[in-house]
Copies of this chain bind each other. A is one copy, B any other.
């Protein structure tokens, strides 16, 4: 059976990139590798829309999240965490593990945070040193208003904005320099359409000032070491050479396609998926601010999401993601990040229609596929 991967990370990897990474391994302290790494640095700055260095870490995105905290904050600092899903919770856990005090803005799963809550919290408590958030909360498929929140934090010299852009960078516009985000992290297995194993992070000048006074222990994720070695086109520790080579190839394609077009592609696929899901008679889990990275659909009453997920897997070879924690069994999530095109979305919508019909859900069979086809148009 042909296999289709619609999970919000890992995402499918283009065949030519898989083969690029299957080339014989080279050593990382050679002119050949340094040339590739120079291209990678340049390409990452292009995607992050920044003049700052973007660090290449051998870790999952969570490692870069830990680095973001450990490089900027100090023990006893207070952090304001936007907690509207599993990854928001992760910010809290990381801060607490490192002795950073946390004030949480609890957001109902499926909802986006109101930027005024952040403005108020910062006004009320001048001891807050950082706002931590997800630009796209992968567990709920919600997009938080990063631009609006950045407009608040950039007015304050004593507060930094730390953004998890793991399912955002390369998906929708998140211009690091323009918005004045202070730390932004991303991961290879999302819009970068690579296997998992690399994470990325960038820091603003303001964040580097925080770095100077930061007393949290750091070694493997010490961004200062990465900054120093990046100038020599290398990393402080042995990099995942094959993934870096794949990344260079992806970034070359990205420059050719152009960032604006990449963002537009994702936006169109997201819109087509959302409207199709609604045409099938399902609700979106993200009430008012759905993410461009993935669509979380609520399972119809009386039908567990697990049945939809297993139907897609067993009958159509398609892997979609379920819900996590409180959303488990209630939702299923379809990614449209990276190496996903119009035909993939038409195919998964059609398969969802078949599975739902056979599970007894009443709807206008074919309406979802038709809607997706209308919106996604043709090249």
- A-side residues, CB < 8 A to B, are 3, 5, 7, 9-13, 18-19, 21-30, 58-63, 66, 70, 93-94, 97-99, 187, 189, 195-197, 216-222, 236-243, 319, 321
Q: How far is the CA of A97 from the CA of B216 in the complex (A)?
A: 9
**How many copies of the polypeptide does the oligomer hold?**
2
In the complex, chain B residues whose CB is within 8 Å of the CB of A21: 21-22, 242
In the complex, chain B residues whose CB is within 8 Å of the CB of A222: 97
Q: How far is the CB of A2 from chain B (nearest CB, A)?
A: 10
Residue of B nearest to A67 (CB): B220
Contacting pair B197 A240 (CB below 8 A): yes
Given known contacts A63-B237, A241-B10, A218 and B97 CB-to-CB distance under 8 angstroms: yes
Q: Which of the residues B25, B187, B237 comes within 8 Å of A13, measured between beta carbons?
A: B25
* 10 pairs of A and B residues whose beta carbons are closest in the complex: A197-B240, A60-B237, A22-B22, A195-B242, A97-B219, A18-B22, A62-B237, A98-B217, A196-B238, A66-B220
Q: Can you name 4 extra interface pairs (CB under 8 A) apart from A10-B28, A66-B219?
A: A18-B23, A58-B63, A195-B242, A196-B240
Contacting pair A60 B58 (CB below 8 A): yes
Q: How far is the CA of A134 from the CA of B195 in the complex (A)?
A: 31
Contacting pair A30 B319 (CB below 8 A): yes
Q: How far is the CB of A148 from chain B (nearest CB, A)?
A: 29
Residue of B nearest to A99 (CB): B217
Which one of A7, A222, A237 has the highest number of Cβ atoms from chain B below 10 Å of its Cβ?
A: A237
In the complex, chain B residues whose CB is within 8 Å of the CB of A241: 10, 189, 195-196
Q: Which of the residues B10, B70, B240 comes within 8 Å of A238, measured between beta carbons?
A: B10
Contacting pair A189 B238 (CB below 8 A): yes
